[in-house]
Amino acid sequence: MNLSARDKQVIWHPYTQIKGAVDAIPIVKGEGSYLIDESGNRYLDAISSWWVNTHGHAHPHIAKKVSEQLHTLEHSIFAGFTHPKAVELAERILEKLPNQSRVFFSDNGSTAVEVALKMAFQYWSNKGHEKNKVIVLEGSYHGDTFGSMSVSARGGFNQPFEQFLFDVLPIPFPKKGEEECTILALKEVLQQDGISSIIVEPLIQGAAGMRMYSPEVLEELFTLCRERNVLIIADEVMTGFGRTGKLFATDYIETKPDLVCMSKGLTGGTMALGLTAATSQIYEAFISDDKLKTFFHGHSFTANAVACSAACASLDLFDEQQTWDNIARIEIRFAKFAEEMKTTALFADVRHIGTVIAFELKTEGESSYFNNKREDIYNHFFEKKIILRPLGNVIYFLPPYCIEQEDLERVLKEIKEYLLSGLIDKKESINAWND
């Protein structure tokens, strides 16, 4: 039996309907922006393997550091103990987030969000206030655990669990040209008492279809919340580590969050690790003679030393000019391409920031993850050995920063051909003309 067949006997895959699922592609090697299968086929990883990979696959520097760490200390209990890589990572992250004063370790993006939410709720409870409401942006995605599902948009992903999710206060997404709506809704909501926090994906809503909004609106949302003493949680799980062109999306604005969630790009995409950074104001609310004011949260693998060493090695690469030159190279090329497509591709809304470019195809159906364009688009690019996994009718390109210029050009050319080809049916293109 080959690997795909053996996989089918024993494995349950994420976000995959079992019925009719195609065989999983057996990847045996990674190299720069490529994933290589058993038969030697090379696939260009144009989505950075679900947005985690920043420096390319099997990066030699990260591999070396992780390997050294494995031979030194693979893991140690983290309650009552510490180790050099955890301290180094925390120091280096806090240098880059000067408004934060402590980091808390967990395992992934969802747990980084859970930790932030629990800290925000308990912050108020430790201070003797009853505040249990959370403001969210419509269409948000913050993870798949119960707390993170609660603050995410309700819909297909979490429908069977809806009755278990806590209530939130959603405000409209600040769509271009309709920002005032969001601001007014926020002002209205802020009249209520008992609001603990706001949580947002800064500048880009990833899973919603790479929906983007401006730093000016983000600044205004944060300022209004700060004025009303509402804690600000920035979910930088997707936007962190260079995706938006700066290290963090919140680097674009002045008002800084109280809590910052990190994961995906944190280890360069090498290992699972989550971080939640908190301000001293939050941290100090947990210092008490009352044992019940302790933050009772921790995972078996909290601050795993190997994962911390991968994150430190990834930060080494962010200290190199080459990485930032690559990010700038992608950003400039994407900006130019977006301009070009805005005037030629009448069938799509084109969005761009930093190293993310997205094309929302106009379709008959609702623009969503469940739009049936998805399979067609995926298969079209897969035949060309390009991994582009659209979010419904949204095609996005989110490459590892080390992508070769020639590969970058190839993907853009294929996207352009797809957008301009007859593959989008006539009826839809006529609708687009009329829009």
Ligand X SMILES: *Cc1c(COP(=O)(O)O)cnc(C)c1O
Of 15, 193, 290, 291, which residue is the catalytic one? 15
* Annotated catalytic residue 141: yes
* Annotated catalytic residue 15: yes
Of 45, 85, 131, 235, which residue is the catalytic one? 235
Q: How far apart are the C-alpha atoms of 386 and 170, rounded to whole Å?
A: 36
Q: Which stretch binds ligand X (CB under 6 A): 102-110, 281-289, 359-367, 408-416?
A: 102-110
Q: Which of residues 138-177 bind ligand X (CB under 6 A)?
A: 141-143
Q: Which stretch binds ligand X (CB under 6 A): 135-143, 224-232, 241-249, 338-346?
A: 135-143
Q: Which stretch binds ligand X (CB under 6 A): 23-31, 70-78, 109-117, 123-131?
A: 109-117
Q: How far apart are the C-alpha atoms of 376 and 374, rounded to whole Å?
A: 6
Out of 45, 114, 179, 201, the only residue in the binding site for ligand X (CB under 6 A) is: 201
Nearer to ligand X, 238 or 327 (CB): 238
Which residue has the CB atom at the shortest distance from ligand X?
Answer: 109
Is 113 near ligand X (CB under 6 A)?
Answer: yes
Out of 100, 263, 276, 367, the only residue in the binding site for ligand X (CB under 6 A) is: 263
Out of 237, 307, 330, 398, the only residue in the binding site for ligand X (CB under 6 A) is: 237
Out of 33, 53, 110, 182, the only residue in the binding site for ligand X (CB under 6 A) is: 110
CB of 274 to ligand X, least distance (A): 7
Of 34, 43, 123, 141, which residue is the catalytic one? 141
Is 109 near ligand X (CB under 6 A)?
Answer: yes
CB of 206 to ligand X, least distance (A): 4
| Cβ–Cβ under 8 Å, residues 318 and 242 | yes
Q: Which stretch binds ligand X (CB under 6 A): 94-102, 105-113, 298-306, 352-360?
A: 105-113
Out of 114, 235, 258, 349, the only residue in the binding site for ligand X (CB under 6 A) is: 235
Q: Which stretch binds ligand X (CB under 6 A): 136-144, 166-174, 242-250, 335-343?
A: 136-144
Is 206 near ligand X (CB under 6 A)?
Answer: yes
CB of 50 to ligand X, least distance (A): 7
The residues of the shown chain that bind ligand X, judged by CB under 6 A, are 108-110, 113, 141-143, 201, 206, 235, 237-238, 263-264
Q: Any idea which residues carry the catalytic annotation?
A: 15, 141, 235, 264
